[in-house]
Structure 1
Amino acid sequence: MPEVGRGDLTHAEWARLAPLLPGDGLPGGRWSDHRTVINGILFRLRTGAPWRDVPSQYGPWKTVYERHRRWSADGTWDKILRSLLAHADAEDRIDWSMVGIDSTSCRAHQHAAGARNDAPAHPHRADEGLGRSRGGLTSKIHLVGEGGRRSLTFLITPGQWGDAPQLIPVLERLSVPRLATGRPRTCPAHLSGDKAYSSRRNRRYLRRRQIRHTIAEPRSQRANRQRRGRRGGRPVGFDKAIYRRRNEVERTINALKNFSAVATRYDKRAYVFHCTVDLATIRLWLRP
Protein backbone atom coordinates (compact mmCIF):
# COMPACT_ATOMS: atom_id res chain seq x y z
CA MET A 1 0.00 0.00 0.00
CA PRO A 2 1.23 3.54 -0.70
CA GLU A 3 2.41 5.61 2.21
CA VAL A 4 -0.20 8.08 3.44
CA GLY A 5 1.05 11.65 3.86
CA ARG A 6 -0.43 14.46 5.90
CA GLY A 7 -3.76 15.48 4.43
CA ASP A 8 -3.85 12.57 1.97
CA LEU A 9 -6.70 10.10 1.74
CA THR A 10 -6.39 7.31 4.27
CA HIS A 11 -6.78 3.71 3.12
CA ALA A 12 -10.29 3.57 4.59
CA GLU A 13 -11.29 6.81 2.85
CA TRP A 14 -9.85 5.63 -0.44
CA ALA A 15 -11.75 2.34 -0.16
CA ARG A 16 -14.97 4.33 0.19
CA LEU A 17 -14.17 6.77 -2.63
CA ALA A 18 -12.58 4.50 -5.25
CA PRO A 19 -15.79 2.71 -6.41
CA LEU A 20 -17.41 6.09 -7.15
CA LEU A 21 -14.71 7.32 -9.55
CA PRO A 22 -14.93 7.18 -13.35
CA GLY A 23 -12.87 4.74 -15.40
CA ASP A 24 -11.90 1.13 -14.84
CA GLY A 25 -8.59 1.85 -13.11
CA LEU A 26 -6.73 -0.76 -15.18
CA PRO A 27 -2.91 -0.39 -15.44
CA GLY A 28 -2.03 1.90 -18.30
CA GLY A 29 -5.58 3.21 -18.49
CA ARG A 30 -6.54 6.84 -18.77
CA TRP A 31 -7.38 7.22 -15.08
CA SER A 32 -4.91 4.73 -13.56
CA ASP A 33 -3.40 7.29 -11.14
CA HIS A 34 -6.62 8.48 -9.50
CA ARG A 35 -5.38 8.35 -5.91
CA THR A 36 -2.13 10.24 -6.49
CA VAL A 37 -3.79 12.98 -8.53
CA ILE A 38 -6.72 13.37 -6.12
CA ASN A 39 -4.28 13.70 -3.23
CA GLY A 40 -2.61 16.49 -5.22
CA ILE A 41 -5.98 18.22 -5.66
CA LEU A 42 -6.62 17.83 -1.91
CA PHE A 43 -3.20 19.39 -1.18
CA ARG A 44 -4.17 22.47 -3.16
CA LEU A 45 -7.64 22.49 -1.52
CA ARG A 46 -6.11 22.38 1.96
CA THR A 47 -3.32 24.91 1.42
CA GLY A 48 -4.67 27.22 -1.28
CA ALA A 49 -1.29 27.05 -3.04
CA PRO A 50 -1.00 27.94 -6.74
CA TRP A 51 -1.39 24.90 -8.96
CA ARG A 52 2.22 25.22 -10.11
CA ASP A 53 3.35 24.78 -6.49
CA VAL A 54 1.68 21.39 -6.01
CA PRO A 55 4.54 19.05 -4.93
CA SER A 56 5.95 16.78 -7.61
CA GLN A 57 5.11 13.70 -5.53
CA TYR A 58 1.55 14.10 -6.83
CA GLY A 59 2.67 14.10 -10.44
CA PRO A 60 2.85 16.99 -12.94
CA TRP A 61 0.96 20.03 -11.66
CA LYS A 62 -0.80 20.43 -14.99
CA THR A 63 -2.23 16.92 -14.73
CA VAL A 64 -3.55 17.69 -11.24
CA TYR A 65 -5.08 20.97 -12.39
CA GLU A 66 -6.61 19.53 -15.57
CA ARG A 67 -8.19 16.62 -13.67
CA HIS A 68 -9.90 19.02 -11.26
CA ARG A 69 -11.02 21.39 -14.02
CA ARG A 70 -12.29 18.60 -16.27
CA TRP A 71 -14.21 16.88 -13.49
CA SER A 72 -15.68 20.25 -12.52
CA ALA A 73 -16.85 20.91 -16.08
CA ASP A 74 -18.40 17.50 -16.74
CA GLY A 75 -20.14 17.18 -13.35
CA THR A 76 -18.01 14.32 -12.00
CA TRP A 77 -17.48 15.93 -8.59
CA ASP A 78 -21.23 16.59 -8.33
CA LYS A 79 -21.98 12.93 -9.11
CA ILE A 80 -19.44 11.71 -6.55
CA LEU A 81 -20.96 13.92 -3.86
CA ARG A 82 -24.47 12.72 -4.65
CA SER A 83 -23.30 9.10 -4.43
CA LEU A 84 -21.61 9.74 -1.09
CA LEU A 85 -24.79 11.34 0.25
CA ALA A 86 -26.83 8.37 -0.96
CA HIS A 87 -24.55 5.96 0.89
CA ALA A 88 -24.57 8.15 4.00
CA ASP A 89 -28.37 8.21 3.95
CA ALA A 90 -28.52 4.44 3.55
CA GLU A 91 -26.19 4.11 6.57
CA ASP A 92 -28.43 6.49 8.56
CA ARG A 93 -25.60 9.04 8.92
CA ILE A 94 -27.72 12.04 7.89
CA ASP A 95 -29.73 13.77 10.60
CA TRP A 96 -32.97 14.67 8.80
CA SER A 97 -34.68 15.71 12.03
CA MET A 98 -32.98 19.12 11.99
CA VAL A 99 -31.04 21.00 9.34
CA GLY A 100 -29.82 24.59 9.35
CA ILE A 101 -29.45 27.18 6.62
CA ASP A 102 -26.83 29.92 6.61
CA SER A 103 -24.38 31.72 4.35
CA THR A 104 -20.77 32.82 4.41
CA SER A 105 -18.75 35.24 2.31
CA CYS A 106 -15.47 34.21 0.68
CA ARG A 107 -13.01 36.92 -0.27
CA ALA A 108 -11.95 36.59 -3.90
CA HIS A 109 -8.22 36.63 -4.55
CA GLN A 110 -7.04 38.98 -7.28
CA HIS A 111 -6.37 35.92 -9.46
CA ALA A 112 -10.08 35.05 -9.30
CA ALA A 113 -11.09 38.27 -11.07
CA GLY A 114 -10.96 38.91 -14.79
CA ALA A 115 -12.64 35.86 -16.34
CA ARG A 116 -13.64 36.62 -19.93
CA ASN A 117 -17.23 37.79 -20.37
CA ASP A 118 -17.40 36.27 -23.84
CA ALA A 119 -16.46 32.79 -22.61
CA PRO A 120 -18.92 29.98 -23.50
CA ALA A 121 -21.95 29.75 -21.23
CA HIS A 122 -21.95 27.11 -18.48
CA PRO A 123 -24.85 25.67 -16.46
CA HIS A 124 -23.59 27.54 -13.39
CA ARG A 125 -24.04 31.28 -12.97
CA ALA A 126 -22.94 33.34 -15.99
CA ASP A 127 -21.90 36.24 -13.74
CA GLU A 128 -19.15 34.01 -12.28
CA GLY A 129 -20.53 34.41 -8.75
CA LEU A 130 -18.45 37.52 -8.03
CA GLY A 131 -19.80 40.76 -6.60
CA ARG A 132 -18.66 43.80 -4.71
CA SER A 133 -19.50 44.15 -1.03
CA ARG A 134 -17.81 45.77 1.95
CA GLY A 135 -14.95 43.30 1.68
CA GLY A 136 -14.30 44.02 -1.99
CA LEU A 137 -14.79 41.25 -4.55
CA THR A 138 -16.51 38.37 -2.80
CA SER A 139 -18.55 35.25 -3.42
CA LYS A 140 -21.16 33.91 -1.04
CA ILE A 141 -21.89 30.27 -0.20
CA HIS A 142 -25.49 29.58 0.85
CA LEU A 143 -25.76 26.11 2.33
CA VAL A 144 -27.97 23.66 4.18
CA GLY A 145 -26.07 21.61 6.77
CA GLU A 146 -27.03 18.74 9.04
CA GLY A 147 -26.12 18.07 12.66
CA GLY A 148 -22.87 16.27 11.86
CA ARG A 149 -21.25 19.49 10.59
CA ARG A 150 -21.50 18.48 6.93
CA SER A 151 -23.23 20.20 4.05
CA LEU A 152 -26.17 18.64 2.21
CA THR A 153 -26.44 21.21 -0.57
CA PHE A 154 -25.21 24.70 -1.38
CA LEU A 155 -25.39 27.54 -3.88
CA ILE A 156 -22.77 30.06 -5.01
CA THR A 157 -23.84 33.68 -5.56
CA PRO A 158 -22.14 37.08 -5.78
CA GLY A 159 -21.16 38.36 -2.36
CA GLN A 160 -23.68 41.24 -2.21
CA TRP A 161 -26.75 39.06 -2.72
CA GLY A 162 -29.11 38.81 0.25
CA ASP A 163 -29.83 35.64 2.21
CA ALA A 164 -33.64 35.56 2.30
CA PRO A 165 -34.15 35.33 -1.50
CA GLN A 166 -31.81 32.30 -1.61
CA LEU A 167 -33.68 30.09 0.89
CA ILE A 168 -36.01 28.64 -1.74
CA PRO A 169 -33.34 28.09 -4.45
CA VAL A 170 -31.06 26.33 -1.95
CA LEU A 171 -33.82 24.04 -0.64
CA GLU A 172 -34.90 23.26 -4.21
CA ARG A 173 -31.39 21.86 -4.78
CA LEU A 174 -31.67 19.50 -1.79
CA SER A 175 -32.06 16.03 -3.29
CA VAL A 176 -30.38 12.96 -1.83
CA PRO A 177 -30.83 9.84 -4.01
CA ARG A 178 -31.67 6.46 -2.53
CA LEU A 179 -29.53 3.40 -3.19
CA ALA A 180 -32.64 1.27 -3.49
CA THR A 181 -35.75 2.23 -5.43
CA GLY A 182 -37.68 5.31 -4.43
CA ARG A 183 -37.71 9.04 -4.87
CA PRO A 184 -34.79 11.14 -3.59
CA ARG A 185 -35.12 12.59 -0.11
CA THR A 186 -35.79 16.32 -0.33
CA CYS A 187 -37.56 17.36 2.89
CA PRO A 188 -36.00 17.65 6.35
CA ALA A 189 -38.35 17.51 9.33
CA HIS A 190 -37.23 20.87 10.72
CA LEU A 191 -35.26 23.87 9.45
CA SER A 192 -33.55 26.55 11.53
CA GLY A 193 -32.29 29.90 10.34
CA ASP A 194 -31.41 33.33 11.62
CA LYS A 195 -33.49 36.48 11.12
CA ALA A 196 -31.93 37.11 7.71
CA TYR A 197 -34.23 34.36 6.34
CA SER A 198 -37.43 35.73 7.89
CA SER A 199 -39.99 36.66 5.24
CA ARG A 200 -43.62 35.81 4.52
CA ARG A 201 -42.63 34.25 1.21
CA ASN A 202 -40.15 31.87 2.87
CA ARG A 203 -42.55 30.89 5.63
CA ARG A 204 -45.35 30.19 3.14
CA TYR A 205 -42.99 28.05 1.11
CA LEU A 206 -41.93 26.02 4.17
CA ARG A 207 -45.53 25.53 5.28
CA ARG A 208 -46.51 24.39 1.78
CA ARG A 209 -43.77 21.77 1.87
CA GLN A 210 -44.72 20.83 5.44
CA ILE A 211 -41.28 21.67 6.79
CA ARG A 212 -41.42 22.87 10.38
CA HIS A 213 -39.14 25.82 10.96
CA THR A 214 -37.57 27.96 13.64
CA ILE A 215 -36.56 31.28 12.10
CA ALA A 216 -36.02 34.37 14.22
CA GLU A 217 -38.26 37.34 13.44
CA PRO A 218 -36.61 40.79 13.20
CA ARG A 219 -37.97 43.54 15.43
CA SER A 220 -39.05 45.58 12.42
CA GLN A 221 -41.21 42.72 11.07
CA ARG A 222 -42.67 42.07 14.53
CA ALA A 223 -43.55 45.75 14.99
CA ASN A 224 -45.13 45.94 11.53
CA ARG A 225 -47.21 42.83 12.20
CA GLN A 226 -48.44 44.17 15.54
CA ARG A 227 -49.23 47.56 14.03
CA ARG A 228 -51.52 45.95 11.44
CA GLY A 229 -53.52 44.09 14.09
CA ARG A 230 -55.56 41.18 12.76
CA ARG A 231 -54.42 41.85 9.23
CA GLY A 232 -50.83 41.31 10.34
CA GLY A 233 -51.42 37.61 10.96
CA ARG A 234 -50.60 35.38 13.89
CA PRO A 235 -47.36 35.67 15.87
CA VAL A 236 -44.47 33.62 14.54
CA GLY A 237 -43.75 30.47 16.54
CA PHE A 238 -40.26 30.43 18.00
CA ASP A 239 -38.57 27.83 20.24
CA LYS A 240 -35.36 29.06 21.88
CA ALA A 241 -34.24 25.52 22.76
CA ILE A 242 -34.45 24.42 19.12
CA TYR A 243 -32.85 27.66 17.93
CA ARG A 244 -29.71 26.85 19.93
CA ARG A 245 -28.99 24.07 17.44
CA ARG A 246 -28.37 26.71 14.80
CA ASN A 247 -24.72 26.58 15.86
CA GLU A 248 -24.49 23.27 13.97
CA VAL A 249 -24.70 24.94 10.56
CA GLU A 250 -22.21 27.59 11.71
CA ARG A 251 -19.80 24.80 12.65
CA THR A 252 -20.41 23.27 9.22
CA ILE A 253 -19.28 26.53 7.64
CA ASN A 254 -16.22 26.62 9.91
CA ALA A 255 -15.31 23.08 8.83
CA LEU A 256 -15.58 24.05 5.15
CA LYS A 257 -13.51 27.19 5.58
CA ASN A 258 -10.71 25.23 7.21
CA PHE A 259 -9.84 24.50 3.58
CA SER A 260 -7.89 27.53 2.37
CA ALA A 261 -9.17 27.24 -1.21
CA VAL A 262 -12.72 27.62 0.13
CA ALA A 263 -12.04 30.38 2.67
CA THR A 264 -10.45 32.41 -0.15
CA ARG A 265 -11.66 31.99 -3.70
CA TYR A 266 -8.74 31.50 -6.11
CA ASP A 267 -10.77 30.07 -9.03
CA LYS A 268 -11.76 32.40 -11.85
CA ARG A 269 -14.69 30.36 -13.10
CA ALA A 270 -17.77 29.90 -10.92
CA TYR A 271 -18.20 26.24 -11.90
CA VAL A 272 -14.64 25.45 -10.80
CA PHE A 273 -15.12 27.20 -7.44
CA HIS A 274 -18.44 25.40 -7.04
CA CYS A 275 -16.66 22.07 -7.40
CA THR A 276 -13.86 23.18 -5.09
CA VAL A 277 -16.58 23.50 -2.44
CA ASP A 278 -17.95 20.15 -3.67
CA LEU A 279 -14.55 18.57 -3.04
CA ALA A 280 -14.31 20.05 0.46
CA THR A 281 -17.77 18.64 1.20
CA ILE A 282 -16.71 15.24 -0.17
CA ARG A 283 -13.62 15.33 2.07
CA LEU A 284 -15.79 15.94 5.13
CA TRP A 285 -18.25 13.16 4.23
CA LEU A 286 -15.40 10.68 3.75
CA ARG A 287 -14.34 11.12 7.36
CA PRO A 288 -15.86 8.74 9.94
Structure 2
Amino acid sequence: MGVGRGELTDAAWARIEPLLPVATGRGGRWRDHRQVINAILWRLRTGAPWRDVPAKYGPWKTAHERLRLWTADGTWETILDHVRVKDDSIGKIEWTFSIDSTNVRVHQHGAGARKKGAARPTGSKTSRTDEALGRSRGGLTSKIHLAVDGRGLPMSVILTPGQAGDNPQLLPLLDQVHVKREGPGRPRKRPDRVLADKAYSSPATRRALRARGIAFTSPEKKDHAANRQRKGSAGGRPPAFAPQTYASRNVVERCFNRLKQFRALATRYTKRAAYYRAELTIAAIILWLREPQASP
Protein backbone atom coordinates (compact mmCIF):
# COMPACT_ATOMS: atom_id res chain seq x y z
CA MET A 1 0.00 0.00 0.00
CA GLY A 2 1.48 3.35 -1.04
CA VAL A 3 1.97 6.44 1.06
CA GLY A 4 -1.09 8.72 1.05
CA ARG A 5 -1.09 12.46 0.46
CA GLY A 6 0.49 14.30 3.39
CA GLU A 7 1.53 11.11 5.17
CA LEU A 8 5.00 10.21 6.43
CA THR A 9 7.27 8.89 3.71
CA ASP A 10 9.36 5.78 4.33
CA ALA A 11 12.50 7.92 4.61
CA ALA A 12 10.89 10.28 7.15
CA TRP A 13 9.54 7.36 9.17
CA ALA A 14 12.99 5.73 9.29
CA ARG A 15 14.42 8.90 10.83
CA ILE A 16 11.86 9.36 13.61
CA GLU A 17 10.83 5.79 14.47
CA PRO A 18 13.81 5.16 16.82
CA LEU A 19 12.89 8.30 18.80
CA LEU A 20 9.33 7.28 19.67
CA PRO A 21 8.39 5.91 23.12
CA VAL A 22 7.99 2.17 23.61
CA ALA A 23 4.93 0.88 25.42
CA THR A 24 5.70 -0.40 28.92
CA GLY A 25 3.74 -1.85 31.84
CA ARG A 26 0.32 -3.46 31.67
CA GLY A 27 -0.95 -1.39 28.77
CA GLY A 28 0.35 -3.82 26.14
CA ARG A 29 1.10 -2.67 22.60
CA TRP A 30 0.26 0.82 21.46
CA ARG A 31 -1.55 1.28 18.20
CA ASP A 32 0.95 1.61 15.34
CA HIS A 33 2.83 4.89 15.82
CA ARG A 34 3.06 5.64 12.11
CA GLN A 35 -0.70 5.25 11.65
CA VAL A 36 -1.39 7.55 14.59
CA ILE A 37 1.07 10.23 13.44
CA ASN A 38 -0.50 10.13 9.99
CA ALA A 39 -3.88 10.72 11.66
CA ILE A 40 -2.48 13.79 13.41
CA LEU A 41 -0.98 15.03 10.13
CA TRP A 42 -4.32 14.55 8.33
CA ARG A 43 -6.05 16.67 10.93
CA LEU A 44 -3.32 19.34 10.77
CA ARG A 45 -3.48 19.48 6.99
CA THR A 46 -7.27 19.71 6.75
CA GLY A 47 -8.21 21.61 9.92
CA ALA A 48 -11.16 19.25 10.34
CA PRO A 49 -12.57 18.30 13.76
CA TRP A 50 -10.89 15.33 15.42
CA ARG A 51 -14.07 13.30 15.12
CA ASP A 52 -13.79 13.49 11.32
CA VAL A 53 -10.41 11.74 11.15
CA PRO A 54 -10.85 8.89 8.60
CA ALA A 55 -11.37 5.39 10.00
CA LYS A 56 -8.27 4.08 8.18
CA TYR A 57 -6.16 5.92 10.78
CA GLY A 58 -7.88 4.22 13.70
CA PRO A 59 -9.92 5.80 16.51
CA TRP A 60 -9.65 9.59 16.59
CA LYS A 61 -9.42 9.51 20.37
CA THR A 62 -6.21 7.48 20.10
CA ALA A 63 -4.60 10.13 17.89
CA HIS A 64 -5.73 12.97 20.15
CA GLU A 65 -4.48 11.15 23.25
CA ARG A 66 -1.10 10.48 21.61
CA LEU A 67 -0.81 14.17 20.77
CA ARG A 68 -1.57 15.00 24.40
CA LEU A 69 0.85 12.47 25.88
CA TRP A 70 3.75 13.36 23.61
CA THR A 71 3.17 17.05 24.26
CA ALA A 72 3.43 16.44 27.99
CA ASP A 73 6.58 14.28 27.85
CA GLY A 74 8.43 16.38 25.26
CA THR A 75 8.51 13.74 22.50
CA TRP A 76 7.72 16.22 19.73
CA GLU A 77 10.55 18.52 20.85
CA THR A 78 12.92 15.54 21.00
CA ILE A 79 12.14 14.64 17.39
CA LEU A 80 12.61 18.22 16.21
CA ASP A 81 15.92 18.49 18.09
CA HIS A 82 17.08 15.26 16.45
CA VAL A 83 16.44 16.34 12.87
CA ARG A 84 18.17 19.67 13.52
CA VAL A 85 21.21 17.94 15.05
CA LYS A 86 21.47 15.68 11.99
CA ASP A 87 21.39 18.64 9.64
CA ASP A 88 23.94 20.61 11.66
CA SER A 89 26.30 17.63 11.72
CA ILE A 90 26.52 17.71 7.92
CA GLY A 91 26.78 21.49 7.76
CA LYS A 92 23.32 22.24 6.39
CA ILE A 93 22.01 24.64 9.04
CA GLU A 94 22.68 28.20 7.92
CA TRP A 95 23.39 30.28 11.02
CA THR A 96 22.00 33.55 9.72
CA PHE A 97 18.60 33.76 11.39
CA SER A 98 15.54 35.71 10.29
CA ILE A 99 12.92 36.66 12.87
CA ASP A 100 9.33 37.83 12.50
CA SER A 101 5.79 37.21 13.74
CA THR A 102 2.35 36.54 12.31
CA ASN A 103 -1.15 36.67 13.74
CA VAL A 104 -3.65 33.85 13.42
CA ARG A 105 -7.38 34.08 14.03
CA VAL A 106 -8.74 31.91 16.80
CA HIS A 107 -11.87 30.00 15.86
CA GLN A 108 -14.75 30.13 18.33
CA HIS A 109 -13.99 26.46 19.15
CA GLY A 110 -10.50 27.52 20.24
CA ALA A 111 -11.76 29.66 23.12
CA GLY A 112 -13.18 28.76 26.50
CA ALA A 113 -10.61 26.22 27.68
CA ARG A 114 -11.10 25.15 31.29
CA LYS A 115 -8.39 26.16 33.73
CA LYS A 116 -7.74 22.59 34.90
CA GLY A 117 -6.37 19.63 33.01
CA ALA A 118 -3.93 21.28 30.60
CA ALA A 119 -0.96 19.16 29.59
CA ARG A 120 2.24 21.16 29.71
CA PRO A 121 5.27 20.14 27.62
CA THR A 122 8.49 19.36 29.42
CA GLY A 123 10.30 22.60 30.22
CA SER A 124 7.35 24.77 29.18
CA LYS A 125 6.87 28.09 30.95
CA THR A 126 3.27 28.45 29.75
CA SER A 127 0.88 28.54 32.69
CA ARG A 128 -2.48 26.81 32.62
CA THR A 129 -4.31 30.09 32.61
CA ASP A 130 -2.23 31.60 29.82
CA GLU A 131 -3.65 30.21 26.58
CA ALA A 132 -2.07 32.86 24.29
CA LEU A 133 -5.41 34.44 23.40
CA GLY A 134 -5.64 38.15 22.60
CA ARG A 135 -8.77 40.16 21.95
CA SER A 136 -9.14 43.01 19.48
CA ARG A 137 -11.84 44.51 17.26
CA GLY A 138 -11.16 41.65 14.86
CA GLY A 139 -11.87 39.05 17.52
CA LEU A 140 -9.60 36.54 19.24
CA THR A 141 -6.06 36.16 17.89
CA SER A 142 -2.80 34.45 18.75
CA LYS A 143 0.64 35.51 17.56
CA ILE A 144 3.37 33.16 16.36
CA HIS A 145 6.92 34.47 16.85
CA LEU A 146 9.40 32.56 14.73
CA ALA A 147 13.15 32.33 14.15
CA VAL A 148 14.34 30.47 11.05
CA ASP A 149 17.76 29.62 9.67
CA GLY A 150 19.09 30.87 6.34
CA ARG A 151 17.05 28.28 4.43
CA GLY A 152 13.83 29.27 6.18
CA LEU A 153 13.58 26.24 8.48
CA PRO A 154 12.20 26.74 12.01
CA MET A 155 14.75 27.07 14.80
CA SER A 156 12.49 28.32 17.61
CA VAL A 157 8.92 29.43 18.14
CA ILE A 158 7.02 31.35 20.81
CA LEU A 159 3.24 31.72 21.09
CA THR A 160 1.71 34.85 22.64
CA PRO A 161 -1.62 36.69 22.65
CA GLY A 162 -2.21 38.51 19.38
CA GLN A 163 -1.68 42.00 20.80
CA ALA A 164 1.79 41.21 22.21
CA GLY A 165 4.72 43.23 20.88
CA ASP A 166 7.38 41.75 18.61
CA ASN A 167 10.61 43.20 20.00
CA PRO A 168 10.33 41.69 23.51
CA GLN A 169 10.32 38.19 21.97
CA LEU A 170 13.55 38.47 19.97
CA LEU A 171 15.96 37.53 22.75
CA PRO A 172 13.67 34.78 24.15
CA LEU A 173 13.53 33.26 20.65
CA LEU A 174 17.33 33.16 20.54
CA ASP A 175 17.48 31.77 24.07
CA GLN A 176 15.47 28.75 22.92
CA VAL A 177 18.08 27.77 20.32
CA HIS A 178 20.02 24.75 21.57
CA VAL A 179 21.44 22.55 18.79
CA LYS A 180 23.37 19.62 20.22
CA ARG A 181 26.37 18.04 18.52
CA GLU A 182 26.28 14.49 17.21
CA GLY A 183 29.68 13.94 18.82
CA PRO A 184 31.48 15.70 21.66
CA GLY A 185 31.24 19.43 22.07
CA ARG A 186 28.93 22.02 23.53
CA PRO A 187 25.54 22.70 21.91
CA ARG A 188 25.47 25.67 19.58
CA LYS A 189 23.20 28.44 20.85
CA ARG A 190 24.07 31.60 18.92
CA PRO A 191 23.62 32.49 15.25
CA ASP A 192 26.23 34.48 13.38
CA ARG A 193 23.72 37.14 12.35
CA VAL A 194 20.07 38.07 12.92
CA LEU A 195 17.86 39.73 10.30
CA ALA A 196 14.69 41.48 11.47
CA ASP A 197 12.40 44.33 10.43
CA LYS A 198 11.96 47.73 12.11
CA ALA A 199 9.77 46.31 14.86
CA TYR A 200 12.91 44.78 16.40
CA SER A 201 15.34 47.66 15.85
CA SER A 202 15.39 49.24 19.32
CA PRO A 203 18.78 50.44 20.63
CA ALA A 204 18.42 48.10 23.62
CA THR A 205 18.07 45.11 21.30
CA ARG A 206 21.10 46.19 19.30
CA ARG A 207 23.17 46.50 22.48
CA ALA A 208 22.04 43.10 23.74
CA LEU A 209 22.95 41.36 20.48
CA ARG A 210 26.28 43.19 20.32
CA ALA A 211 27.05 41.95 23.84
CA ARG A 212 26.39 38.40 22.65
CA GLY A 213 28.65 38.79 19.64
CA ILE A 214 25.75 38.48 17.17
CA ALA A 215 25.67 40.72 14.10
CA PHE A 216 22.32 42.44 13.55
CA THR A 217 20.80 43.73 10.32
CA SER A 218 17.65 45.81 10.70
CA PRO A 219 16.54 49.19 9.32
CA GLU A 220 16.54 51.98 11.88
CA LYS A 221 13.19 53.51 12.83
CA LYS A 222 12.75 57.17 11.94
CA ASP A 223 12.07 58.19 15.55
CA HIS A 224 15.18 56.35 16.74
CA ALA A 225 17.26 58.09 14.10
CA ALA A 226 15.80 61.49 15.01
CA ASN A 227 16.48 60.92 18.70
CA ARG A 228 20.07 59.91 17.95
CA GLN A 229 20.62 63.00 15.79
CA ARG A 230 19.23 65.30 18.49
CA LYS A 231 21.93 64.09 20.84
CA GLY A 232 24.64 65.13 18.40
CA SER A 233 27.99 63.41 18.87
CA ALA A 234 26.66 61.77 22.07
CA GLY A 235 24.09 59.91 19.99
CA GLY A 236 26.76 57.87 18.25
CA ARG A 237 26.98 56.75 14.66
CA PRO A 238 24.01 55.33 12.77
CA PRO A 239 23.83 51.52 12.87
CA ALA A 240 25.29 49.74 9.86
CA PHE A 241 22.68 48.48 7.44
CA ALA A 242 23.27 46.31 4.34
CA PRO A 243 20.18 46.21 2.10
CA GLN A 244 21.44 43.19 0.15
CA THR A 245 21.89 41.19 3.35
CA TYR A 246 18.50 42.35 4.66
CA ALA A 247 16.80 41.10 1.48
CA SER A 248 17.42 37.52 2.68
CA ARG A 249 14.95 38.11 5.53
CA ASN A 250 12.08 36.99 3.30
CA VAL A 251 12.86 33.36 4.18
CA VAL A 252 10.88 33.79 7.40
CA GLU A 253 7.84 34.99 5.42
CA ARG A 254 8.12 31.93 3.21
CA CYS A 255 8.28 29.71 6.28
CA PHE A 256 5.05 31.23 7.61
CA ASN A 257 3.44 30.50 4.24
CA ARG A 258 4.55 26.87 4.44
CA LEU A 259 3.32 26.48 8.01
CA LYS A 260 -0.06 27.98 7.13
CA GLN A 261 -0.55 25.38 4.42
CA PHE A 262 -1.54 23.28 7.42
CA ARG A 263 -5.07 24.62 7.84
CA ALA A 264 -5.20 23.79 11.53
CA LEU A 265 -2.35 26.29 11.98
CA ALA A 266 -3.65 29.02 9.66
CA THR A 267 -6.69 29.22 11.94
CA ARG A 268 -6.33 28.13 15.53
CA TYR A 269 -8.98 25.59 16.51
CA THR A 270 -7.09 24.21 19.52
CA LYS A 271 -8.09 25.49 22.94
CA ARG A 272 -4.86 24.74 24.74
CA ALA A 273 -1.81 26.82 23.88
CA ALA A 274 0.42 23.84 24.71
CA TYR A 275 -1.33 21.68 22.09
CA TYR A 276 -1.33 24.41 19.45
CA ARG A 277 2.39 24.92 20.01
CA ALA A 278 2.84 21.14 19.73
CA GLU A 279 1.05 21.27 16.37
CA LEU A 280 3.46 24.01 15.27
CA THR A 281 6.34 21.76 16.36
CA ILE A 282 4.96 18.81 14.38
CA ALA A 283 4.62 20.99 11.27
CA ALA A 284 8.19 22.20 11.81
CA ILE A 285 9.35 18.57 11.98
CA ILE A 286 7.66 17.89 8.64
CA LEU A 287 9.37 20.92 7.04
CA TRP A 288 12.76 19.66 8.24
CA LEU A 289 12.06 16.11 7.07
CA ARG A 290 11.10 17.36 3.62
CA GLU A 291 14.58 18.82 3.09
CA PRO A 292 16.70 16.58 0.84
CA GLN A 293 19.38 14.74 2.79
CA ALA A 294 23.03 15.00 1.83
CA SER A 295 25.90 12.72 2.74
CA PRO A 296 28.20 13.89 5.51
Q: Same fold (TM over 0.5)?
A: yes
* Distance in 2, Cα, partners of 1:147 & 1:220: 30
Identity %: 55
Question: How many Å separate the matches in 1 of 2:19 and 2:119?
Answer: 28
Shift of 1:119: 5.0
Task: Say if 2:212 is the partner of 1:214.
Answer: no
1:253 shift after superposition: 1.2
Deviates more, 1:222-231 or 1:204-213: 222-231
Pairwise mapping of residues 46-195 of structure 1 onto structure 2 (< 5 A)?
46-96=45-95, 98-119=96-117, 122=120, 123-126=124-127, 127-195=130-198
Distance 1:192 1:4 in 2: 38
Residue by residue, what CA displacement relative to the aligned partner does 1:230-269 show, whole Å, maximum 9, x if unpaired? Answer: 2222211100010100111111111111111111111111
After TM superposition, the score normalised by the length of structure 1 is 0.94
Matched residues in 1 for 2:41 and 2:117: separation? 27
Q: Which amino acid aligns with 1:237?
A: A
List alignment gaps of at least 5 residues for structure 2.
none
CA contact (8 A) 2:133 2:140 kept: yes
Q: Which stretches in structure 1 are left out of the alignment for 5+ residues?
A: none
Partners in 2 of 1:286 and 1:31 — Cα distance? 24
What does residue 224 of structure 1 align with? 227
Question: Counterpart in 2 of 1:42?
Answer: 41
Q: How many residues align?
A: 284
AA in 2 matched with 1:101: I
Q: TM-score, normalised by structure 2?
A: 0.91
How far residue 157 of structure 1 moved from its aligned partner, in angstroms, is 0.7
Tell whether the 8 Å contact from 1:124 to 1:271 is kept in structure 2 after alignment: no
Aligned-residue RMSD, C-alpha: 1.7
Partner of residue 285 from structure 2, selected from 276, 282, 285: 282
Amino acid at match of 1:99: F
The worse-fitting range, judged by mean Cα deviation, of 126-135 and 41-50 is: 126-135
Is the contact between residue 12 and residue 289 of structure 2 (CA under 8 Å) also seen in structure 1?
Answer: yes
Distance of 1:47 and 1:121 partners within structure 2: 24
CA 1:120–1:70 in 2, change beyond 3 Å: closer, same or farther?
Answer: closer
Tell me, in whole angstroms, the C-alpha distance in 1 between the residues paired with 2:252 and 2:231. 34
Q: Secondary structure at the match of 1:106?
A: strand
* Counterparts of 2:156 and 2:54, CA distance in 1: 31
Q: CA deviation at 1:205?
A: 1.1
**Matched residue type, 1:125:** T
With over 3 angstroms needed to count, the CA separation of the structure-2 counterparts of 1:119 and 1:63, relative to structure 1, is closer
Map of 1:6 onto structure 2:
5
User: Are the structure 2 counterparts of residues 120 and 47 from structure 1 closer, same or farther at C-alpha, using a change threshold of 3 Å?
Assistant: closer
Q: Is the 8 A contact 2:71 2:119 kept in 1?
A: no
- 3-state SS in 2 of match to 1:8: coil
Flag the 1:176–1:238 CA change in 2: closer, same or farther, 3 A. Answer: same
The answer for the alignment partner of 1:260 in structure 2 is: 263
